[in-house]
Chain A
């Protein structure tokens, strides 16, 4: 039986309404209790987008719906939502109330579908799954119930250089917008065309309709998003290139791009390999020019720099930060925590990925959604030297207690505003360096 959770770093299934908010001109419709939308808006903050937050239609279950069912109310809300709000896609998300009483959403959604509404539905009850899992449920719902209806115009795998990218979870990854933009730029640098699907660089529903056309898919994630690429593999025969952590900095970004390039070529993408390699080299060069300058600072700064780091984040970030910081800044990752409620079947492979970071040392990693417990553990651990904590706003107090430097980089993020900054890629690595050592230098009054 999973235990209590203190200091949540993720939220429940209905939190994936933010994935809908991230699709241009899509509207989430909540069939849920009255507070669900507010809880999610409050968790992510500054996350309203086109039609999230107080704009999202919601059936606001009352005792009447709990007793008599809420489908009729839902029908009214859907009908009127389309009159009141301009949208290209409506996505119904169900909450705990609807799931427990067993409302039949599907037939309601299908009726509207038959009337030509661009509408899909997804089961996202909070007691069943987390927002990390529900993100895939939403993406698959849009693929199966919407995009799949347009395959006549979008024959499967008909564009050899087109890929669908599944990486950052919108809003759950504090840097999702910047990260997706940067993935797209980097992959386009190889000569690929990229459906990024979420955020301002997506072409909205037109792009979702073109998903089948893609030659293959790219998944950047240790585990979340897996059901999407499996679904597409089964549905359209699209293979996928899987990269299991966030490519932060030069080593991992080059590994990611070379992997994607080899995969694309092996699957018949029409790419100029030489030009693609030149692009990678040019990007690397820009990165190392900065690292050259940084080395002097790292080696000569005599007032104190952090020599070790604790990371509390989802496993993709814990791996990505660890690999980057150890090899590209010299900071040693100590006890770190994957806080996203990682499914057990992925523990081994994530641990192995953590261990492969260094040939000489093992990097302690704990799977701990109860981040309050993780904090208590860190309270009792001391390492020699100055420490850095990378985590959410909850870590601000802990860092203060321990006298550590603190870099907020995860949700909830009360002390940091992130808009279009990216942490992945070559430029992302440099930005992480700027942010960490900016905090360190700023600590000198």
Chain B
């Protein structure tokens, strides 16, 4: 689907990319179905709390140094956002940020009155108040189920206020009910950012956009041989730096689930080419990635040199971990692209993935390129993954599957899932730094940490003996896919 920055809203992933949240099979089957017949989503007749787009949209805006974010909704719709204030403070150290300012997060505090008479006036007043109070360089308004259903004209309000106040004010449409994939919120956030902040380039500079979260600054060193500096967007960036991201020579993504839309926008609307091949996790993919980078930046020799130098430095370590981890089994639960990347890391370390619970699946990303299909690379480089479950954090399925496969280690990327590994006595690892597993050094990092996690199992073994489990015996004896469309417990009227 082509990009249209004139439109206030973008369609969510299921409509834009044909993404799905329900699948049981193998990774290879999923890749091949994505290519041939197109994916058909399956619904469930039982479900647990998901997550929603509004907090993912907030993730793209709150961490911008000099912007403010207003949640247009009841107080509840902003109540987990304080966590970004903590993240901002703590991970600022990893980015060497000196002036760590308080995060500016507001709720318009919609009440019953506004659900009847509309909340646009209240929103306009909120924008004025926030402007006075925080003196931000941009204001983002993120919408919620309530504001969406009552039909407030948020776009019109943002336009009027932008004119009145003279700073970019952007409406971001990320109502939870619009998408089963909370990652649609990333796209909505970036759409609003691109529309309101990014300017057409006047010059080209030796910077490379890195679309990421809060990962360690490894790209400064990686890009140096190419004569470039990283321009991390959007966390820890500034309104000014984002507005000039069009001047970059290339865009790279730490995670295609995150950066799919913004990468495509920067290429198609602002002429910044993106590296199409998947992020650099696992040796095969790291080499492809460095070569693509060299090609894009017109310096293939630097890419070969970087590959050789890193190989020389890290291969002995990686070989050592391969010997120690050979035959160890693992289960992965994570968001889509990063989950695939973790499977690549496991494959490279000679471990055996017994299965995965991955939050959704995009058959292709916004750039439409098969080269970007992270799961396809994993299957080709390391072989098939059995018990591949696409499931949007449906804990009951995860618990059931994990209970069957009982791996040596559970690798998780999102909060809330890890305790099930621990309750079953399975050593469990969650790495919050998305750059931790990248490149050759990433394999050494993961190898070391996985070994350490498997070794230090006293806590989980003890917890297992005392853990409470709300899941019934009956459920644990069913197939994990029992409540998925087509499964034996799926009721037709749902």
Contacts and interface: CB of A to CB of B under 8 A. Distances in A.
A130 B49 contact: no
Nearest to B115: A127
Interface residues of A, number: 76
Interface string A26-61: 010010011111111111010010110111111111
A202 to B, nearest CB: 15
A58 B149 contact: no
A86 interface: yes
B113 A1 contact: yes
A33 B177 contact: yes
Contacts of A6: 104-107, 133
B493 A38 contact: no
Contacts of A48: 416, 419
B70 A38 contact: no
A76 B45 contact: yes
Nearest to A78: B46
Interface string A368-379: 010011001000
A340 to B, nearest CB: 11
B146 A42 contact: no
A336 B416 CA distance: 35
Interface string B78-93: 1111110110010000
Give the most central of A33, A51, A65: most B CB within 10 Å.
Answer: A33
| Contact count band on B | 35 or more
Given A11-B79, A34-B176, A394-B85, A2 B49 contact: no
B108 interface: yes
Nearest to A59: B47
A298 interface: no
Interface stretch (A94-102, A267-275, A422-430): A94-102
A15 to B, nearest CB: 6
Chain B interface helix/strand/loop/mixed: mixed
A127 B149 contact: no
Contact of B79 (A42, A55, A61, A372): A42
Nearest to A375: B102
Nearest to B90: A414
A394 B475 contact: no
A420 interface: no
Contacts of B112: 127-128
A96 B417 contact: no
B55 A5 contact: no
A2 B74 CA distance: 11
Contacts of A95: 145
B494 interface: yes
B80 A97 contact: no
Given A57-B47, A126-B146, A7 B182 contact: no
Contacts of A204: none
Given A6-B133, A12-B76, A42-B80, A80 B46 contact: yes
A60 B50 contact: yes
Given A35-B53, A41-B80, A397-B102, 14 more contacts: A2-B111, A4-B125, A6-B104, A14-B76, A15-B79, A27-B470, A36-B49, A42-B83, A58-B50, A80-B489, A97-B149, A127-B112, A128-B112, A414-B82
| Chain A to chain B: the 9 pairs with minimum beta-carbon distance, closest first | A35-B52, A42-B80, A12-B76, A37-B49, A126-B74, A80-B46, A34-B50, A43-B79, A126-B76
